[in-house]
Amino acid sequence: MLENKRIAVIGGDTRYIEVMNRLIEAGLIVQVAGFKNYRFTSDKVQSKKLKQIDFSIQDAILLPVSGANEKGKVELAPYADEELYVSRELFAQTKEDCLIYTGIAGNYLQEAAKDHKLIRLFHRDDMAILNAIPTAEGTLELAMHHTNYTIHRSHVLVLGFGRVGFTVARLFAAVGAYVTVCVRSSTDAARITEMGMKPIYYKELEHYLTKQQIIINTVPARILNKKALEQMDSTSLMIDLASSPGGVDFKEASKLGIHSIHALGLPGKVAPKTAGNIIADVLLPLLEQDL
């Protein structure tokens, strides 16, 4: 039972409004920092400055999807009126069994929370697969908005065939695009062929870049470097879905006149209610299990 358990929410975007509504429905006592510029309809959410939260009584802490950067700053906090930082000292104020939930966690956050159980929600297959749905829809919306031709019969290249790449490629193919997917494994290549798309390997990538109108990267590694970008048509649209710093050399792309978009946090922008419910659907059973 979660009745009267305490959770502190530090930052978060529009998705987290839905998450907090679900936490309240489950009976948790919610204190939140970073939502000063949002008016909650429920008086069961206690909005505070970060320094006003008593972390010694919290059973859990929830950080945004992006966690914190390598200086401890919580960057995904659009409703905040102050900069939010987490640290080992902050976590030391909590009980030993206080759980820390985040979307992803870089080296800083892992080190700061090393004395606690740190749960990375977006490392879970269920979360990542469900979250890929609004990500793919948001990518399609961006492609439609930033091109002057139909997606139908356009040439689209997707880099990566993981949980996001799979859903993105399938959606673009479903609306009639000619989809090519760049992969590493022969198993993925076989699946792509079975789905009616064209697989290529990374060693072939440079030979295909000139033919693409839309390029979508899902791989968190610098694949689209200067050498690769020089093979692209300057009229191409490039959408990078990989977490920071992404897989594109954006500075070089700008020099070459290539329209490139680092599309982070798409679910929170295009479908915050659905995306928030996806997070809550995964988070609440974990809280039930762990608290």
Whats the size of the chain, residue-wise?
Answer: 291
- Give the containing element (helix H, strand E) for 84: none
40 and 112 share a domain?
yes
Residue 245, pLDDT score: 81
Share of the chain above pLDDT 70, in %: 100
What pTM, to 2 d.p., does this model score? Answer: 0.89
Question: For residue 180, is pLDDT > 90?
Answer: yes
175 and 187 share a domain?
yes
154 and 22 share a domain?
no
136 and 264 share a domain?
yes
Query: In the sheet where 60-62 sits, what is the strand order?
Result: 45-48, 29-33, 6-10, 60-62, 99-102, 117-120
CA distances from 152 to 177, 193, 214, 286 (A): 5, 19, 12, 41
Helix ranges (H only) for 146-212 are 163-174, 186-194, 205-208
- Tell how strand 214-217 and strand 237-240 pair up: parallel
Residues 64-91: tens digit of each pLDDT: 999 999 999 998 889 999 999 999 999 9
Residues 21-36: tens digit of each pLDDT: 999 999 999 999 999 9
- Say how many C-beta atoms besides its own lie within 10 A of residue 251's C-beta: 9
Within a domain: residue 282?
no
- Give the containing element (helix H, strand E) for 179: strand 178-183
- Asked if residues 223 and 217 have their Cβ atoms less than 8 Å apart, the reply is yes
Residues 6+ apart with CB under 8 A from 174: none
136 and 262 share a domain?
yes
Domain's final residue, options 107, 123, 139: 123
284 vs 1, residue with greater confidence: 284
Residue 244, pLDDT score: 78
Domain's final residue, options 93, 123, 153: 123
225 and 248 share a domain?
yes
Specify the number of domains making up the chain. 2
Helix ranges (H only) for 50-176 are 88-92, 107-112, 125-145, 163-174
**Domain around 170:** 127-268
* Mean pLDDT value across the chain: 94
Task: Name the residue among 141, 147, 103, 145 with its Cα closest to residue 122.
Answer: 103
Within a domain: residue 254?
yes
Residue 8, pLDDT score: 97
Residue 217, pLDDT score: 97
Within a domain: residue 177?
yes
Encoded tokens for 101:
């939930």
